[in-house]
Amino acid sequence: MRLLLLTNLYPPQNLGGFGLCLQRLCQGLEALGYDPLVLTSDAPYLGPAGLDPRVCRSLQLLGSYEGGISRLGDSGEEQRRQQHNQRLLTKILKRFKPQVCLVGNLDLLGLELLDTVLAQGVPTQQHVGFMGAPMPLHQYPRGKGSYGMAFASGEVKRLLHQQGFPVAQQPVVYPPLMQNEPPQASQPRAGALRVGYCGLLMQSKGVHVLLEAVARLQAGGNGQPLSIQLAGKAFAPNYEEELRDYCERVGIKALVQWRGFLEGEALQSFYADLDVLVFPSLHPESFGMVVAEAMVTGVVPISSGVGGAYEVITHGRNGLLVPPGDSNALAEALHWCNAQPQQRQAMGQRARRDALRRYTPRQSALALHQGFQQLR
């Protein structure tokens, strides 16, 4: 079955985890027999484009994600790019003749592209991977072909249903883990507790809360042995500068290693070298892919659990939940992990089993496949 995947960014050009989610969903559908073609943009500032011939990077964004999100601010140029994108999509629809379409994020592209696909009657599912609707309620496609949504978590679905979107019968499709099962982390090792964070470096992710918790544990001359690894891009450069300044000011600079953006084997090595992954978001997350990725290597997650991230962790079984923004509670959770290595290891083993059971590419692809069947 011919599948068109339409989205604004696609790996290896990543910004956060949504692109990886779409890539893994595409791989899962391909394993079920789908023949994919990806239509996306080229954003060189996010890295190389890759050489996959099934990925067409000819869409033109109406702005940039470099250093944050910004529009072009030139209505004439935006209109020219919109017209280019419409012509390109129309050409691909005629040539490729997709039998189904999976839509991701259309920010800086526009909903007009979705209208163009639906006008051809192509059964279309849009994977909603953010805590918010991809369009205003009055623009929800009605009578324009077969359209449905698939949600990264039950919490995302609940939110949109609460807002009036007709999604009660539409599926939850969790972001899948990578296809190859990573090795389990080794037994507890002596020395400092190895704590990590992975994600965008931005205020809403709460990285500063983690650093405040570490500072609390080191205060008063009774510092606990910890090492901190921070992996990810700076969404706003000034935030990273503030974090670095804070580390120096409170005396924890030597404990913190800045790893930058990691992917592929480097990211797996990052997880495998941790005892604990902290996911301290202040605002609701649609899912929290890094939490599931860390769990599958046997790492214990500590999360604020806001939004869909709450669905990933069962407190005390496969991870720990702390209130968002509460650095004192986070410090206490880290202290427990440091003081109870055997219990922490057992929790990590349960985390691995749970993640491998719930978040496979095949499970997510089958959920999408069933959604497409219902739309046909």
Of residues 1 and 307, the one with the higher pLDDT is 1
pLDDT at res. 68: 77
pLDDT at res. 59: 98
Kind of pairing, strands 63-64 and 70-71? antiparallel
pLDDT at res. 277: 96
Please tell me the pTM assigned to this model.
0.81
Residue type, 46: L
Neighbour-count burial of 281, counting CB atoms closer than 10 A to its CB (0-12 exposed, 13-18 middle, 19+ buried)? buried
pLDDT at res. 188: 56
Give the three-class secondary structure for 96. Answer: helix
Give the three-class secondary structure for 151. Answer: strand
Domains of the chain in start order, with CATH, are 2-176+360-375 (3.40.50.2000), 193-358 (3.40.50.2000)
Percent of the chain with pLDDT over 70: 95
pLDDT at res. 310: 82
- Tokens found for residue 133: 């609707």
Query: Residue 144 above 70 pLDDT?
Result: no
Percent of the chain with pLDDT over 90: 72
The predicted-structure confidence for 7-29, as pLDDT tens digits, reads as follows 999 999 988 778 889 999 999 99
pLDDT at res. 189: 62
- Report the pLDDT averaged over residues 118-140: 93
User: 42 — alpha (psi -120 to 50), left (phi > 0) or beta?
Assistant: beta
Alpha helices in the chain (DSSP H): 18-31, 75-96, 112-119, 154-162, 207-218, 237-250, 264-272, 289-295, 327-339, 341-358, 361-375
pLDDT at res. 263: 80
Look over the chain and give the mean of its residue pLDDT values, rounded to a whole number.
91
- Tokens found for residue 76: 């004439």
The predicted-structure confidence for 174-217, as pLDDT tens digits, reads as follows 998 876 555 565 555 667 899 999 988 989 999 999 999 999 99
The predicted-structure confidence for 319-375, as pLDDT tens digits, reads as follows 999 999 999 999 999 999 999 999 999 999 999 999 988 888 889 999 999 999 988
- Which range among 54-68, 99-113, 183-197, 232-246 shows the weakest confidence by mean pLDDT? 183-197
Neighbour-count burial of 250, counting CB atoms closer than 10 A to its CB (0-12 exposed, 13-18 middle, 19+ buried)? middle
pLDDT at res. 145: 57
pLDDT at res. 375: 87
Query: Residue 279 above 90 pLDDT?
Result: yes
- Report the pLDDT averaged over residues 72-87: 95
Residue 226: enclosing H or E segment and its boundaries?
strand 226-231
Q: What angle do CA 166, 36, 92 make, to 5 degrees?
A: 85
The predicted-structure confidence for 60-79, as pLDDT tens digits, reads as follows 999 999 877 899 989 999 99
Q: Confidence class of residue 308 from pLDDT cuts 50, 70 and 90?
A: confident
Q: Quick one: which of 198, 338, 210, 346 has its CA closest to 272?
A: 198
pLDDT at res. 63: 95
Query: Residue 376 above 90 pLDDT?
Result: no
